[in-house]
Structure 1
Amino acid sequence: MAAEVAAQPVNGTATGSRARWKHMDTLLSRPGAYTDEDDFAPGSVPIGNIEQSRILVIGAGGLGCEILKNLALSGFKHIDVIDMDTIDFLFREKDVGKAKASVAAEFVMKRCPGCVITPYAGKIQDKDEDYYMQFNLVICGLDSIEARRWINATLVGMVDMENPDSLKPLIDGGTEGFKGQSRVIFPTMTSCIECQLDMHAPRAAVPLCTLATIPRQPQHCIEWAHIIKWEEERKDLVLDTDDPEHITWLYQKALGRAKEFKIEGVTYSMTQGVVKNIIPAIASTNAIVAASCCNEAFKIVTSAASFLGTPGENNYMLYTGDASIYTYTFEHQKKDDCPVCGNLPKDLFVNPESTLGELVEGLAERPEAQLKKPNLRTEEKTLYYSSPASLEESTRPNLKRKISEMLADGEEFAVSDPAFEINFRFIARYA
């Protein structure tokens, strides 16, 4: 029905506008089974409130494009979209090489006249807090955990208790084959993405000996370039998995490795997928999760129905489609020791006889941290820095020292990573 209504001509008159959004006016002018009488009065929220809201969509891939289309068909007229990737397949042949954000914005605006979508081809880290402050809410359709963690920390850090407008709801959608999730986060009020990081288990690691000596699959060649060659040849540079130049360098190294061992199948697309841990998308899953995200956006802006993320209520929806169809909605609890929205350090049980190097390696595997290049320090001294190279070299001898020599039982230490604006606080507990 939405597609049929959207196809009606828009003549700029009040009559034309009402005709186009008749289904929305009908929905907003009637009480529903799930409306909150305290927050919603039928007829009090005109379609103009939706048209005036400004929405930011992060990601213009399979999920992001669905989100853009749904928002446009739901009456949102001021949308911005960020994506740093260019098109190398799918879409149309004439679009290859163009920025995904620009192509997606142009196509949706053509299909939905009156909707203005402003694209930005670049990284979310390019924008400052003033940029994010102008939106009513943010919707993520990302394939990167790292990017989610960055925008989550940024939105939490923007909150000023004396300025209610500084709180920007974050709607996050994600898909993995036949599975997906949508969640609503009210920064500082409900659990954030960092609170929920343990929902994303670290991927299984390939033994270094396999990568270094006997690769058998194209993925092994890519991981060799990613884990070994980058450290050998470009360790002074922090790997940015969203930078096309970095991915191209890894692809070329992996392709040379594959030829050496007569392994076929290494492509630029595969290199990007392995390094960023991208799982192929299924269109129907994208459609379901995008619909959920946009429904939540509509409900938040209009209060027409209860939405995920209301403090103290369900904020996380899981969808599973690999065995029939199953959805489950629950409340993910806010954590007091969350490094982003909490204020308490987390206990970390360690063997005092193990080495600092073992602790550093273990941080990458911990579900609540998942750090690739951790930097460790106490209030008084630096324990180890993965980067820059000068600090790594000077602190490298500490990796062989016992934890008992570096950290006292009950001592607090901080862990950071160049990829995130996050400082993890831990208290060493001898075990």
Structure 2
Amino acid sequence: ATSPYHQNLALVTNQRVPGCQVKPHFKKIQDYDESFYQQFHIVVCGLDSIVARRWANGMLLSLVDQGSIVPMVDGGTEGFKGNARVIIPSMNACVDCNLEFYPPQVNFPLCTIAHTPRLPEHCIEYVKILLWPKEKPFGDAAIDGDNPDHLQWIHEKATERASEFHISGVTYRLTQGVVKRIIPAVASTNAAIAAVCATEVFKIATSCSNPLNNFVVFNDSDGIYTYCFEAERNEKCLACSQVPVKLYFPPEAKLQEVYDHLVNSQEFQMKSPGMTTTVDGRSKTLYMPSVPDIEKRTKENLKKTLKELGFVEGQELVVVDVTNPMYIAFKMTFKEPTDT
């Protein structure tokens, strides 16, 4: 079997640059514990999702109380746009402090996809969201964006639907891009952001100059534009603030409302939060979507009110989510905040 791409890249880099030692790893970043990240002086991120960035951010923040601060240099691109930032955990703004910087994921209205498609992407989304679960071409298997058979089936069905509505442009490459939500990479943008990250690592490692303070944006879609500014810390940040986070809900609110708030609010942007609390001195799992067996047993709790679940004023709600390696404790408050 051929080596994964990153292993070949590490080999070529080590051969090309004398004295350079690049060690490849073929795992998810979540598979490594604190000891793995503690060994580094600087962590550089070129991750492909906000979830992964938030997880890395949370991990480095969790190391602060162990007497070590590991700076994080983060860079990302989206077509002709890019950004880079330097995060000194507990000292300046972290990823979660400025979640509003990241635009929400683009989703097409279901009514448009189902009834009035106008773009080739609409046809692909139709097959992905509606036709796949209906026809089950590969049994109960979920769509795998890396499976050529899955992509080929979606491409063929999307082409048929596009022909029905006289829409052109459905290609295999576009199908792959829509299914995997791939954003086209632009070499010039990647090179510029990579250079920024490398420069910041050099400055931090050698102390030859002050590092970026602390955010830079780059745009080369029409000429070249760059701008640096200091992203401010959020005093109520979930990840780096020491202030207890309050959730305001009436006792009659259902647990489903709390779950939806954690997922949909701009402040939290969680993916699949698991919730537990303590009732009469005993830990109680309210809902845990990440574990199928527990999800089935606790799903009915989503229909219950906070009062029915035993919540009282000021009770702690513990939440775990893929966006953070640590749990987050909320304080349930039944009264709405008032201006003072």
Instruction: Report what 1:186 is aligned to.
Output: 88
Between the two proteins, the alignment pairs up a number of residues equal to: 315
Contact 1:105 1:118 survives alignment (8 Å): yes
Query: Which stretch of the first structure deviates more once superposed, 261-270 or 319-328?
Result: 261-270
Residue 141 of structure 1: CA displacement? 1.3
- Structure 1 residues 109 and 269 mapped into 2: Cα distance closer, same or farther (>3 Å)? farther
Residue 207 of structure 1: CA displacement? 5.0
Deviations 1:291-327 (A, max 9, x none): 111111111112212212xxxxx21112233344332
Instruction: Report what 1:384 is aligned to.
Output: 287
Deviations 1:18-76 (A, max 9, x none): xxxxxxxxxxxxxxxxxxxxxxxxxxxxxxxxxxxxxxxxxxxxxxxxxxxxxxxxxxx
Contact 1:225 1:253 survives alignment (8 Å): no
Query: What secondary structure is seen at the aligned counterpart in 1 of 2:272?
Result: coil
Contact 2:145 2:151 survives alignment (8 Å): no
Q: Which of 177, 186, 189 matches 1:285?
A: 189
Query: What secondary structure is seen at the aligned counterpart in 2 of 1:135?
Result: coil
Matched residue type, 2:318: A
Distance of 1:136 and 1:187 partners within structure 2: 13
Answering whether residue 89 of structure 2 is matched by residue 217 of structure 1, we say no
Distance of 2:115 and 2:206 partners within structure 1: 59
Instruction: Report what 1:130 is aligned to.
Output: 35
Residue 277 of structure 1: CA displacement? 4.0
Deviations 1:313-344 (A, max 9, x none): x2111223334433222222333433332222
Instruction: Report what 1:140 is aligned to.
Output: 45
Q: Which of 306, 323, 333 matches 2:232?
A: 333
Matched residue type, 1:386: P
Residue 153 of structure 1: CA displacement? 1.9
Instruction: Report what 1:176 is aligned to.
Output: 78
Contact 2:55 2:322 survives alignment (8 Å): no
Provide the TM-score with structure 2 as the length reference: 0.77
Answering whether residue 202 of structure 2 is matched by residue 303 of structure 1, we say no
Distance of 1:173 and 1:137 partners within structure 2: 14
Instruction: Report what 1:421 is aligned to.
Output: 325
Deviations 1:239-269 (A, max 9, x none): 9xxxxx95446x7556545645634757588
Q: Which of 387, 393, 397 matches 2:296?
A: 393
Contact 2:54 2:323 survives alignment (8 Å): no
Q: Which of 368, 371, 378 matches 2:267?
A: 368
- Structure 1 residues 376 and 206 mapped into 2: Cα distance closer, same or farther (>3 Å)? farther
Contact 1:179 1:322 survives alignment (8 Å): yes
- Structure 1 residues 333 and 225 mapped into 2: Cα distance closer, same or farther (>3 Å)? farther
Contact 1:219 1:266 survives alignment (8 Å): no
Query: What secondary structure is seen at the aligned counterpart in 2 of 1:306?
Result: coil
Contact 2:59 2:324 survives alignment (8 Å): no
Residue 374 of structure 1: CA displacement? 1.4
Residue 365 of structure 1: CA displacement? 1.9
Residue 139 of structure 1: CA displacement? 0.9
Distance of 1:382 and 1:306 partners within structure 2: 47
Residue 146 of structure 1: CA displacement? 2.0
| 1:19-418 equivalence runs, <5 A | 98-161=3-66, 163=67, 166-207=68-109, 216-223=122-129, 233=140, 247-248=145-146, 252=149, 255-256=152-153, 259-260=156-157, 262-263=160-161, 265=170, 267=172, 270-271=175-176, 273-274=177-178, 277-308=181-212, 314-350=213-249, 353-380=252-279, 381-403=284-306, 405-406=308-309, 407-418=311-322
Provide the TM-score with structure 1 as the length reference: 0.62
- Structure 1 residues 203 and 352 mapped into 2: Cα distance closer, same or farther (>3 Å)? farther
Distance of 1:117 and 1:270 partners within structure 2: 34
- Structure 1 residues 186 and 289 mapped into 2: Cα distance closer, same or farther (>3 Å)? same
- Structure 1 residues 409 and 233 mapped into 2: Cα distance closer, same or farther (>3 Å)? farther
Contact 2:275 2:317 survives alignment (8 Å): yes
Distance of 2:294 and 2:219 partners within structure 1: 46
Distance of 1:417 and 1:226 partners within structure 2: 28
Structure 2: any 5+ residue segments left out of the alignment?
163-169
Contact 1:211 1:223 survives alignment (8 Å): no
Sequence identity (%) = 37
Query: What secondary structure is seen at the aligned counterpart in 2 of 1:203?
Result: coil
RMSD of aligned Cα (Å): 3.5
Structure 1: any 5+ residue segments left out of the alignment?
1-95, 240-244, 309-313
Query: What secondary structure is seen at the aligned counterpart in 2 of 1:121?
Result: coil
Deviations 1:106-151 (A, max 9, x none): 3333432332222222322333333322322111112122222222
Residue 375 of structure 1: CA displacement? 1.1
Distance of 1:151 and 1:214 partners within structure 2: 41
- Structure 1 residues 200 and 294 mapped into 2: Cα distance closer, same or farther (>3 Å)? same
Distance of 1:210 and 1:403 partners within structure 2: 37
Contact 1:100 1:121 survives alignment (8 Å): no
Contact 2:54 2:95 survives alignment (8 Å): yes
Q: Which has the higher contact order (CA 8 A, sep 6+)?
A: 2
